[in-house]
Amino acid sequence: MYCTECGSDLVLKEVKKEGDIPYCKNCNKLFFPKVDLAMIAILTNSKNQVCLINQKNRLDYKVLIAGFIKPGENLEECVRREIKEEVGVEVSNCNYLNSHFYEANNVMMVGYHAETFDEELIIDDDEVECASWFDYDNVIGRIRDGSIADKLYKQFYETTKSRMGDNNEEVN
């Protein structure tokens, strides 16, 4: 690895409680690991349905809407933008659920529950093959088991079902 400032070789420097961190002796600068940031959202409508999509050329399983944050954008803006881009609906409410680190791509996936009053899905043909609404009870098994989307949805489902009555309407 090389210093992004001067191009010198980086060495590992032990930093208390942090471990070995790449360091430039010339610039006296530490280079902490960078992590990409993305959001993943459970989009629901007023009929207690969840929007699942198939990405382009990936028909083997369904996924939740997800995307990378753009510079200058906060996470909630990213949720609203990605949902609008991929399925053409406006988000009326957006709440943080949890986060999961996706080690394979070095990405911190920040999970949200987004709500819309819109029901018609207008897909972005460049990114999405198809999108559909599914009742809460019909989502598990459609998402790849063990994926971040699966973990996020199962947490949401358990929490939501404990607040729902027999006819899937929220209990006050």
Phi, psi of 110 (to 5 degrees): -105, 120
Instruction: Please give the model's pTM, rounded to 2 decimal places.
Output: 0.83
Domain with CATH 3.90.79.10 in the chain: 36-163
pLDDT of residue 172: 39
Fold of 36-163: Nucleoside Triphosphate Pyrophosphohydrolase (3.90.79)
Helix (H, G, I), strand (E, B) or coil at 161: helix
pLDDT above 90 (res 155): yes
Two structure tokens written together for 108: 């911190």
58's CB contacts (< 8 A; 6+ apart) are: 129
Q: 121 in helix, strand or coil?
A: coil
The CATH architecture of the domain made up of 1-33 is: Single Sheet (2.20)
Residues 6+ apart with CB under 8 A from 133: 45, 47, 49, 50, 51, 119, 121
**Tens digits of residue pLDDT in 101-143:** 998 889 999 999 999 999 999 998 898 999 999 999 999 999 9
**DSSP for residue 131:** E
Sequence-separated (6 or more) residues with CB below 8 Å from residue 102: 108, 109, 148
| Rounded CA separation 120/108 (Å) | 30
Q: Which residues pair with 131 in a beta bridge?
A: 53
Residue type, 49: Q
Residue pair 25/66 in contact (Cβ under 8 Å)? The answer is no
Tens of pLDDT along 54-105? 988 777 889 999 999 999 999 999 999 999 999 999 999 999 999 999 988 8
| pLDDT score of 34 more than 90 | no
Q: Considering only CA atoms, which of 2, 84, 93 is closest in space to residue 46?
A: 93
Residues of the chain with CATH 2.20.70: 1-33
